[in-house]
A = this chain, B = another copy of it.
Amino acid sequence: MPHVITKILADDRRFELPDGAGSDAVHSDPQYGYAVTQLITEDKNQSGTGIAYTLGGGTHLVQSAIELLSEPLVGQEIEALMSDFGTVQRAMAEHHQIRWLGPHKGVTHLALASITNACFDLWAKARGVPLWKLLLDLSPEALTRLIDFSYLDEVLTADEAVSILKEKAATRSQREHILKEGYPGYDTSVGWFAYSDERIMENARHAIDLGFTAMKLKVGSPQPERDVRRVKKIREAVGDDVRIMVDANQAWSLPKALEVCQQLASMQPYWVEEPTQPDDILAHQTIARAIAPVPVAVGEAVSNRVMWKNFLQAGAVGVVQADCTRLAGISEYLAVSLLATKYPVKVIPHVGDMGQIHHHLVFFNHIALGHEKLFLEYIPHLREHFMHPAIVKDGAYQLPQEPGCSTDLLPRGKH
């Protein structure tokens, strides 16, 4: 039965967080928010839900942008739409008037994320499969037709992407056991910026009890001694075998980043995340060279595939934290994953979606792209708002079974 989009709704959902949760050096008092796209079809039981992540304030701007950009999708049948989605998405992104408001960044690009993710959700539901299976079952050609490759030519063409997928397909079966094992997570909620030293140590020990072997600490304090002290405390609490990542959330200028990173390096962080402003590719390059072999992780604020191309070309990133609720959805996430495959650089997504979509995507990246099995960020704060919250057992994301992208939210007031 064909699924025709008859109406598109946009929503602004914001969620209060527990005291101090979500705080970092720059974002002192966040809410988590989603600009939600709902694709309605004639079949009441089949709708597509897409989300773009925000920190609360201004979500209504993205909601309005969804209403504006999604207009051309009304009346379209989902299989037809997804048969050449790269072209569809390009037409939305390159709208001859609206592109001025980016291009490919900011509020309008976040809207495109939400719209794109809704299309993938409806498509997977229409086929009755979870996203990971939908993507794994596509031919290399069908998969690349989901992607807008424009402006990537000198580094990656659609033909090259097909070749990469075909090459990796030869060894795919060796990696499929991960579907049973689950995909490891790492715990981000250990070390929010506003938490006391005691609390982060307690959280760290608790994370170990839950089966995590990696965790993150927010740094970027005006007093670097605070950062250094807190990394030491967590190291004390969990021992040498656990991976500790530090995240400055753009707090530092380049000179400051170089100074503080030198002090942190002796604590052997597994990565240093967002040391400075996310557009500053050359500063990231300088930092990456200075702190090697510790890698620079970046991504939650990298706007689009072109910026990613530059980051990779410049050797300015060691951990690609692509996020399909920041980029133009699952489609551009796939573009960035393919780019990273080529270099190769690790992809460990940032989870604006709290891992709901990304736990599908890391199974895909491992099996179809041959990416190393690493760990996916885990943040539990919005679990009760999702209809099918991701299941994490013994520190590992379990394979989702429901059709779609796991992005359906419970109605307001229903959790």
Contacts and interface: CB of A to CB of B under 8 A. Distances in A.
Given A95-B57, A154-B253, A62 B280 contact: no
Contacts of A255: 153-154
Count identical subunits in the complex.
2
Nearest to A109: B106
Nearest to A28: B96
A98 interface: yes
Interface stretch (A39-47, A239-247, A298-306): A298-306
A54 to B, nearest CB: 5
Contacts of A356: none
A373 interface: no
Interface stretch (A166-174, A308-316, A335-343): A308-316
A313 to B, nearest CB: 5
A250 interface: yes
A64 B27 CA distance: 22
B276 A97 contact: no
A7 interface: no
Given A58-B108, A301-B103, A97 B282 contact: no
Nearest to A254: B154
A61 to B, nearest CB: 6
Interface string A47-75: 00000011111101110110010000000
Given A106-B105, A253-B150, A61 B57 contact: no
A303 B27 CA distance: 22
A60 B64 contact: yes
A280 B151 contact: yes
A54 B304 CA distance: 21
29 contacts: A26-B96, A26-B99, A27-B97, A27-B99, A28-B96, A29-B97, A30-B97, A55-B98, A55-B99, A58-B65, A60-B64, A61-B61, A61-B68, A62-B101, A105-B279, A105-B303, A106-B107, A107-B108, A151-B277, A153-B254, A153-B255, A153-B256, A154-B253, A154-B283, A277-B306, A279-B303, A279-B306, A280-B310, A282-B309
Cβ-closest 3 pairs across A and B? A106-B106, A57-B97, A107-B107
